[in-house]
């Protein structure tokens, strides 16, 4: 996730990426709130979070897997019946992710 400075902008420290993403997950805030809190542009927050999710998916590709086909629909229906939550296909519980 590390980037290099260009003549147009300075790189945001990778620790801020992680902090911003975890804060957004914990508090479900808008990009503008994260932008003001971490003193970075709103579009940068969006791009950072998008890349952070991509990195998590790549690093944990064997630990976090999505259902496919009929299993996907079955899981979605199961969550709706169990919790009343539509369009949910999975949940993570009791998992420790070393950062």
Q: Over pLDDT 70: what percentage of the chain?
A: 76
Written as six digits, the tokens of 2 are 């590390």
Written as six digits, the tokens of 8 are 């147009």
Q: What is the pLDDT of residue 44?
A: 77
Query: DSSP string covering 30-70, please?
Result: -HHHHHHHHTS-HHHHHHHHHHHHHHHHHHTTTTS----HH
Indicate the range of 3-7, 34-38, 49-53, 85-89 predicted with least confidence.
3-7
CA distance 11 to 42: 14
Q: What is the pLDDT of residue 34?
A: 76
Q: What is the pLDDT of residue 47?
A: 80
User: What angle (nearest 5°) sits at the alpha carbon of residue 60, between those of residues 44 and 82?
Assistant: 95
Exposure of 89 in the CB half-sphere (CA atoms within 13 A):
11
The verdict on pTM exceeding 0.75 is: no
> Using 50, 70 and 90 to split pLDDT, how confident is the model at 92?
low
């Amino acid at each position: 996730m590390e980037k290099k400075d260009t003549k147009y902008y300075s790189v945001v420290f990778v620790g801020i990426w992680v902090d911003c993403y975890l804060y957004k997950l914990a508090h479900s805030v808008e990009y503008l709130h994260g932008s003001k809190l971490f003193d970075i542009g709103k579009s940068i927050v969006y791009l950072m979070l998008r890349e952070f999710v991509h990195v998590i998916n790549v690093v944990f590709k064997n630990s976090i897997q999505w259902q496919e086909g009929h299993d996907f629909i079955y899981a979605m229906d199961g969550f709706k019946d169990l919790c009343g939550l539509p369009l949910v296909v999975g949940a993570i519980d009791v998992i420790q992710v070393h950062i």
